[in-house]
Amino acid sequence: MTVGFKRIHPDAALPAYARPGDAGMDLRSVDELVIPCGGRALVHTGLVMQLPPMFEAQVRPRSGLALKSGVTVLNTPGTIDSGYRGEVGVILANFGDGDFKVAKGDRIAQLVIAPVTQAEVVEVFEVDETDRGSGGFGSTGV
């Protein structure tokens, strides 16, 4: 499968897999900014993506940023549909203990390409009973 990327910023870097077999490609920032403790920001990548039909791109956090700095992708996973042709942006949230500096070229998120399955939606008037029933959050214990 081929995914096309157009650079719309001179500092944009194409996404890349760090190792063979990795699921996620690193996305890099073209911005320099500071996200205050408890704050959030849209970080630009300088890229427009062209996905094939029936595929999506999922924007996911980087585990190292989350562990070391408390920085994560706020709407994770962020979904980019195949028809979207705007700039790929990453909403980062800083849950760390201090301000977080983003520099040009920093790896800010991962991009995972996945197939899309669209369901046929039908209205039903009864649903099957299950052992779980309507048990929700915490219904199986902590």
Domain assignments of the chain as residue spans, ordered by start: 4-115
pTM above 0.85, yes or no: yes
CATH top class, domain 4-115 = mainly beta
Per the CB < 8 A criterion, the answer to whether 42 and 89 are in contact is yes
Query: What pLDDT shows up at residue 53?
Result: 97
Query: What pLDDT shows up at residue 15?
Result: 98
pLDDT in tens, 101-125: 999 999 999 999 999 999 999 999 9
pLDDT of 140 strictly over 90: no
Dihedral over alpha carbons 91, 26, 63, 105 (to 10 degrees): -70
Q: Enter the tokens of residue 5.
A: 């990327």
Q: Are strands 33-35 and 55-60 parallel, antiparallel or unpaired?
A: unpaired
pLDDT in tens, 41-73: 999 999 999 999 999 999 999 999 999 999 999
Please give the average per-residue pLDDT across 8-22, as a whole number: 97
